[in-house]
Structure 1
């Protein structure tokens, strides 16, 4: 049955593939090998399959090579773009830091100017009070001299009446005339002295009035300078408070609760604000109220800054990285299936510095199941941050760390598919999206 089928196939292929003979010559004789149509077709088919398989494998290899080259180029471009973005953010951060430092310098210089102006103002007030006292004394002396002059005139009139009456006195007319002349001479001298004192008093009063006008002008000029300085300080305070307010609002945090928490933590360093200027006993003047209001706003900025330092607003990776997983449900990279991802994954080079996102106390530093080498930092207001899959831990439990302080190195310990950092933020025990806080803090830190 099989031989008949082969014969039929050979007969069908005979027209296209006639039978060939391959002669092999040796010392013993000449032999030949018959190549039937079926054998030739099998050889051709085998050669075609081999050539086709070679072409397919070569094509797949070339496609993989081109795809890998494109992927590397894309990754390099993304890394270059990200590095450029990091450099821009670093320059922007340095510029903001320089602007903040310049604002602090301007504020310190302005406070020195305010203090100097306050000292000069107090000195001018003291001189004005002394001049007012001198004017009062001169006026009292002038009134007393006028009273004495009037008394002297009354006495002269009385004496003249006695002389005219010629009452029975024992003195002679010559003696009474001599005494009258002596009295008149004394009164004339007294009147001349009084007139000189009056003229001198008028001169001193005019000089005092000129001095008072000059002091009033200096006071008005000083007040205008103080108003200008206070306006600049108030504008600087408003500009400084705006990014902090935007950061807390973007993170969905109540500034009142944060400020109250910081005040409770720093209650031992507080105290009432003493007015800078108080020239009367009736209460603080408008300048003192304005200065106290500015000091209160500066104190509030300081409280906001302390609250921001204690919360995880900073990026935990200090170096180049790529975000590989976000917060929320995702496909499990090891077992598959949908799982909740309670943090962010940042892929980078092994040993990349990992820093604290905010001030706090290290609550845990060691190995955890699934997380590998892990550091947990407890912050204020019920916040906790977790840094997992580390290659090395650089802090110990109970240690206090500051924002930006290095706490470990990026690694791949625990349940991990590669070198990366798993970063979580918890608020009152509930995981929240860390990117909300990182984005909110970009314009501040």
Structure 2
């Protein structure tokens, strides 16, 4: 810069920044440093800039600290809500299962009652047919007896007339006439008893028909009640199955394939052989078919529960944390360009417990290149989860773990810039976004 311009600037700044001298005295001599107005202005500007930068950096750190606190509180509330919904769903599932068991018991009792009523109805129908047959026989016998009685009376009248004509009552013909009259009286008494028995049989048949009508009405009421029970159970199974099915589809899994594999792993059966029973119906009735469909739905729900326990639908960190990096391409934190980040990072205090997200077997527990102290767990359906940068490992290779077990502590080992957990989900050795599984279960658990 030309000397003339410097002098003009110094002259313009001299009112605010007068020239200063700093004397440096030694044993031999005394020296001084001249601080011109321009030098003082530059120093004041640099100092002010440093003070402003310090204030701004402090404000940014405080805002970040407050944001982290809010994120931790929100995460804690989310975890509490997650656990509450999980407990509520577990209780509802247990209630549905108990209700299904009670409904099955009521259904079995209803079937037994229906079978008993059907037996009574058939017995009543048989008795009615027997009574009708007996009535026909009695009526036929009565008509024949009445006809014989009329013929005998006519014959008696004829004999009486003949005896009177012959003028004597002490003849053998008169004795026969008296015997015939006694016989007719006995026959009339027998016919009266038969008529009374016929009336009693008719009353018994009418009572049997009334009982059959009452049994039929009770059967219809029982069928309507069973139909209502089945309808409610079918609706409950459908409502419970829909979110589970949607959860597996959101995670990129086919529910049919999941159920098939779980059923294959839980398909043991056995026991002593009993007597063979052969059905004569040829096919099940409608109630048995609906009961089998409901039991099949409950079985699928149990299989879904087993599958969900073996898949990473949980959070690996439960305490205070915040997400610092997601899945996908990002700028390398070490300054080596853009690289693929194959997991999700959870930042928190050193020593924060790390929990396994599904049932499985530990296949790696030790140092793993840039991952530092790492645990790898093999789950069902060819899925692996990886937990890296730990400060402490609390499991060993070959150990079987269950969802929620503590497998290590958060740390800063390996290629890391700070304390955090690097969490990966791999399907067939191919990394996928872990948040896909976590978000898929957010509306279920």
* 1:274 alignment partner in structure 2: none
* 1:28 alignment partner in structure 2: none
* 2:103 alignment partner in structure 1: 110
| Secondary structure in 1 matching 2:317 | coil
* 1:339 alignment partner in structure 2: 339
Residues 128 and 85 of structure 1: is their aligned pair in 2 closer, same or farther, counting only changes over 3 Å?
A: same
Q: Deviations over 1:238-278 (max 9, x none)?
A: 1011101111221221222222212222232499xxxxxx9
Q: Deviations over 1:192-230 (max 9, x none)?
A: 222222211221222222212211221111111111111
Residues 314 and 289 of structure 1: is their aligned pair in 2 closer, same or farther, counting only changes over 3 Å?
A: same
1:428 aligns with 2:428: yes
Residues 267-416 of structure 1 mapped to structure 2, 5 A cutoff: 267-269=267-269, 281-416=281-416
Q: Kindly indicate whether the alpha-carbon contact (under 8 Å) linking 1:314 and 1:442 is maintained by their aligned counterparts in 2.
A: no
Residues 185 and 428 of structure 1: is their aligned pair in 2 closer, same or farther, counting only changes over 3 Å?
A: farther
Output the CA distance in 2 between the equivalents of 1:369 and 1:290: 57
Output the CA distance in 2 between the equivalents of 1:339 and 1:350: 26
Residues 439 and 196 of structure 1: is their aligned pair in 2 closer, same or farther, counting only changes over 3 Å?
A: same
When the two structures are superposed, what TM-score results if normalisation uses the length of structure 2? 0.80
Output the CA distance in 1 between the equivalents of 2:148 and 2:279: 49
Structure 2 residue runs without a partner (length 5+): 21-29, 163-170, 272-277
| Secondary structure in 2 matching 1:267 | coil
> After the TM superposition, which of the residue ranges 151-160 and 134-143 deviates more from structure 2?
151-160
Residues 161 and 407 of structure 1: is their aligned pair in 2 closer, same or farther, counting only changes over 3 Å?
A: farther
Q: Deviations over 1:154-189 (max 9, x none)?
A: 55466568768879xxx9223322332333233223
Residues 290 and 427 of structure 1: is their aligned pair in 2 closer, same or farther, counting only changes over 3 Å?
A: same
Residues 361 and 220 of structure 1: is their aligned pair in 2 closer, same or farther, counting only changes over 3 Å?
A: same
| Deviation for aligned residue 1:121 | 2.2
Q: Kindly indicate whether the alpha-carbon contact (under 8 Å) linking 1:146 and 1:194 is maintained by their aligned counterparts in 2.
A: no
> After the TM superposition, which of the residue ranges 430-439 and 347-356 deviates more from structure 2?
347-356
Output the CA distance in 1 between the equivalents of 2:156 and 2:444: 101
| Deviation for aligned residue 1:139 | 2.7
Output the CA distance in 1 between the equivalents of 2:390 and 2:181: 118
Count of residue pairs the alignment pairs up: 410
Select the residue among 121, 132, 136 that pairs with 1:128.
Answer: 121
Structure showing greater relative contact order (alpha-carbon pairs closer than 8 Å, 6 or more residues apart): 2
Residues 362 and 177 of structure 1: is their aligned pair in 2 closer, same or farther, counting only changes over 3 Å?
A: farther
Q: Kindly indicate whether the alpha-carbon contact (under 8 Å) linking 1:362 and 1:378 is maintained by their aligned counterparts in 2.
A: yes
| Deviation for aligned residue 1:334 | 2.6
Output the CA distance in 2 between the equivalents of 1:57 and 1:310: 56
Select the residue among 70, 79, 82 that pairs with 2:75.
Answer: 82
When the two structures are superposed, what TM-score results if normalisation uses the length of structure 1? 0.80
Output the CA distance in 2 between the equivalents of 1:305 and 1:19: 83
Structure 1 residue runs without a partner (length 5+): 21-32, 272-277
Output the CA distance in 2 between the equivalents of 1:400 and 1:382: 16
Q: Kindly indicate whether the alpha-carbon contact (under 8 Å) linking 2:156 and 2:180 is maintained by their aligned counterparts in 1.
A: no
Output the CA distance in 2 between the equivalents of 1:269 and 1:419: 50
| Secondary structure in 2 matching 1:370 | helix
Output the CA distance in 1 between the equivalents of 2:339 and 2:128: 91
| Secondary structure in 1 matching 2:330 | strand
| Deviation for aligned residue 1:112 | 3.7
